[in-house]
Amino acid sequence: MNIIVKVEHDSNDVVPLKVNKAAAKSYYKLLNEIRKSVKLREQVKLAHLLTFSDVLEPVDEEETDETNGSLCRISSSGASDLNAMRVQEGSELAADLEKRVRWMDET
């Protein structure tokens, strides 16, 4: 028996990014220091923080791997159950076939 598990994520799923709060706070503080040192009135905005690539980082692959591993275990368990059902069904069919052959021999 072969088991193929294909995992697709909808675009409605959670975005696979998380906020690096420490980096965001550090950049915010740094930008405010720069703003004050050059006497700018403009406030630091989210758009300014998002120009730094490490403010948003990918979700840990371990979490994704753990989820995918769980899906594989569930699929494997389900396949084992289906295989047991196939064996049972095969036994019942064999018994029925033997019964019919005996009936044909008797008539």
Domain ranges of the chain: 17-106
Nearest partner of 1 among 93, 83, 70, judged by Cα: 83
Look at residue 20 in the predicted model and tell me its pLDDT. Answer: 92
| Residue 79 neighbours by CB under 8 Å, 6+ apart | 1, 3
Look at residue 71 in the predicted model and tell me its pLDDT. Answer: 73
> What are the average pLDDT values for consecutive 10-residue runs of the chain, which has 107 residues?
64 74 95 93 91 85 67 75 85 92 88
Look at residue 65 in the predicted model and tell me its pLDDT. Answer: 66
* Phi, then psi, of 58 in degrees rounded to 5: -65, 150
